Amino acid sequence: MAKIIECVPNFSEGRDKAVVEAVAAAVRETPGATLLDVDAGESTNRTVYTFVGSPSAVVEAALAAARVAYARIDMTKHKGAHPRMGALDVCPFIPVSGVTVEECVGVSKIFALRLAKELSVPVYLYGAASSRDYRRTMPQIRAGEYEGLRDKLRQEEWSPDFGPSEFVPRWGATVTGVRKFLVAYNINLLSTKEQAHRIALNLREQGRGPNQPGRLRCCQAIGWYLEEHNLAQISINLTDFDVTPIHIAYEEAKKDAGDMKVAVTGSEVVGLVPLAALLQAAEYYIAKEGLFILEEEQKVHLAINRLGLNALSPFNPKTRIIEYCVGGVGAGQLGRGSVEELVKGVAARTPAPGGGSVAATVAALGAALGAMVGQMTYGKRQWEGLDATMRRLIPPLHKAATDLIPAIDADTAAFNAYMEANKLPQNTEEERKKRTAAVKEATEQTIQVPLSLLTTQDTTWEPLTQMAVVGNINCRSDIQVGARCLEAGAWGAYYNVLVNLDNVEDAETRKAYRSQAEVLMERAKKGCQAVLQAVDKRASSS
């Protein structure tokens, strides 16, 4: 899965359209960054930009935008309704997919360091990136705003995390850090505004006050009325959808609405939503209703249907799910291409795609064959007594097959990145440091990609062995081929780990990676033998 981070910088300019567009253009022109939204406010004199991309791309885009702001925004002349302390007031980085909060903390610190160094401005860290409780939230850091910043910077406890403890009149100060993705979510009610607000008070974390907290954590909510649709809504902000998912908010609202004899008529997501949020909902309804659904597209369709996301306006996954907007889901160019193209690409006079991509392809096919045998068993009258078993065995094999497809491209991308890193200039000390860091990061990826392949194929042996014992006996050769493909893929990944370990300088790190790969390879050999023995046993007894 591609690493996607969302960045939502807030700049203190919302009236000068030329400046607003210049900042937007800087983001658009950054390779690998996709600008999703520009929200300029005249009364606040503030513009919120939303863009996504890889970790390195969002840093470059944010820096490009900051350079424009540094040249064109003057805080000595700024007035607006929104609290602020700098030209680039706040720049949060938000994990979307394939990336952790901890990784985003590292990204925010890289951005802070580079911004402070390049522009010589003070930069503070907040949220998950902060290490000081008294300056963890925006209100804490922004207290006194721009007008009080000169005096604030003189206090030792308010020295910036990066940059000089000096007041820069045109700029002020910037706050950067990490927060979780906020899902703006509205639930439709055929009720009064007051009834909607009563439910909102029951749900939201703060409830009706300190002595009457609500039921849902990380949930902010109010009730309002939409004249244009002639219905009320519970307007919800889910500040951490892993703590309170969309479907939980929806189901809890339905409970209260049912008690009040009020009809719920679907819901809506405002703006964009991470794929994970809808897949959470899909898995909930699959489990609740005892459904058997494997394909991601069908799971998304189920979530849209059960949550009623089409009630007020069409919900198009291609334009509303972040990963689909930026192409961060599924196969890359190699994985999407034809078998002929892949084979010819491997046979060409180029080092990539090579053994790693072939290993991922073979392993994906092996897992797919296991899933196929399950599909050829499930739902057939002859083996209907095995339906429950197939519902358990097919999903992990299907998931492994799907998860391994992106690895076909990931291995080639990791190799190419390593080669490019080695080509970086080394003329100055700064260039040498940059090249060393880039080579180290690229080397890490050349090892992590095949290790990830080994880890994924390791999940297939138990279900594939059980499939060999009870699955459609007419497909026994498919199970045998599948097992051999998975083992071959494991060997390919193992060899790739070993060859890339030559580029790791630290002996302890090399030893740890080798040990991890050897354990997984040994499990693959034993797993393959277990599957083949199970098939042979059934064949000899039939």
pLDDT at 328: 55
Are 172 and 60 in a shared domain?
yes
pLDDT tier at 326 (50, 70, 90 boundaries)? confident
% the chain with pLDDT above 90: 72
For residue 245, is pLDDT > 60? yes
* 354 and 494 co-located in one domain: yes
Residue 268: count other Cβ atoms within 10 Å of its Cβ: 18
What integer pLDDT is reported at residue 41 of this predicted model? 84
Confidence of residue 188 (pLDDT cuts 50, 70, 90): very high
Cα–Cα distances (Å) from 62 to 47, 65, 92, in that order, read 14, 5, 10
72: domain CATH number is 3.30.990.10
Co-location of 364 and 296 in the same domain: no
**What is the predicted pLDDT for the residue at 332?**
65
Q: Is the pLDDT of residue 331 over 80?
A: no
Give the mean model confidence (pLDDT) for residues 176-200.
94
- For 74-130, the pLDDT digits (tens) are 999 999 888 899 999 999 999 988 889 999 999 999 999 999 999 999 999 999 999
Q: Per-residue pLDDT averaged across 351-366, rounded?
A: 92
In sequence order, what are the beta bridge partners of 7?
51, 93
Residue 177: strand pairing partners = 92, 126
Confidence of residue 145 (pLDDT cuts 50, 70, 90): very high
Split into its structural domains, the chain has a count of 3
Look at the block and give the residue holding tokens 């997501």: 269
Higher pLDDT, 171 or 36: 171
pLDDT band per the 50, 70, 90 thresholds, residue 330: low
Instruction: State residue 187's pLDDT score.
Output: 97
Q: Which of 128, 163, 178 is the last residue of a domain?
A: 178
State the pLDDT at residue 388: 93
Residues with catalytic roles: 82, 411
Span 130-143, average pLDDT: 91
Decide if pLDDT at 229 tops 80.
Answer: yes
The two three-digit tokens of residue 309, written as one number = 């996301």
Q: What is the mean pLDDT of the chain?
A: 92
User: Which tops the pLDDT comparison, 414 or 377?
Assistant: 377
Q: How many CB atoms lie within 10 A of CB 171?
A: 26
The pTM of the full predicted model, rounded to 2 decimals, is: 0.75
What CATH number does the domain containing 393 carry? 1.20.120.680
Q: Which domain holds residue 250?
A: 183-326
Q: Please compute the mean of the pLDDT values over residues 504-526 and round it to a whole number.
A: 93
Rounded CA Rg of the chain = 27
Provide the H-helix boundaries in 383-506. Answer: 387-422, 429-458, 461-470, 476-501
**Can you tell me whether residue 53 is helix, strand or coil?**
strand
% of residues, the chain, pLDDT over 70: 98
Domain final residue, candidates 117, 144, 178: 178
Q: Do 115 and 205 lie in a common domain?
A: no
Pair (266, 365) in one structural domain:
no
For residue 308, pLDDT beyond 70: yes
Q: Which pLDDT tens digit goes with each residue over 440-469?
A: 888 888 999 999 999 999 999 999 999 999
Same domain, 257 and 201: yes
| 163 and 208 both lie in a single domain | no
pLDDT score, position 542: 67
**pLDDT of 196 higher than 90:** yes
Domain boundary at 295, 326, 357, which?
326
Report the pLDDT value the prediction gives residue 289, as an integer from 0 to 100.
96
Residue 319 pLDDT grade (very low, low, confident, very high; cuts 50, 70, 90): confident
* Residues 18 and 47 reside in one and the same domain: yes
Residues 278 and 149 both lie in one domain: no
Structure-block tokens of residue 50: 């939303």
What's the rounded mean pLDDT across residues 465-481?
Answer: 95
Chain-centroid distance of CA 411 in Å reads 20
- Over residues 363-378, the mean pLDDT reads 96
**Residue 255 and residue 321 in one domain:** yes
Strand partners, 174: 123
pLDDT value at residue 327: 67
The CA-CA-CA angle for residues 309, 313, 319, to 5°, reads: 80
363 and 492 both lie in a single domain: yes
What is the length of the chain? 542
Q: Which residues fall within 8 angstroms of residue 351, CB to CB, at 6 or more apart?
A: 415
Question: Among residues 461, 449, 460, 441, which one has the least CA distance to residue 504?
Answer: 441
Q: Which residue has the higher pLDDT, 312 or 3?
A: 312
What is the CB-side half-sphere exposure of residue 438 using CA atoms within 13 A? 19
pLDDT in tens, 487-496: 999 999 999 9
Question: Above 60 in pLDDT, residue 329?
Answer: no
Whether residues 171 and 197 share a domain: the answer is: no
Measure the CA–CA gap between 312 and 315, rounded to whole angstroms: 9
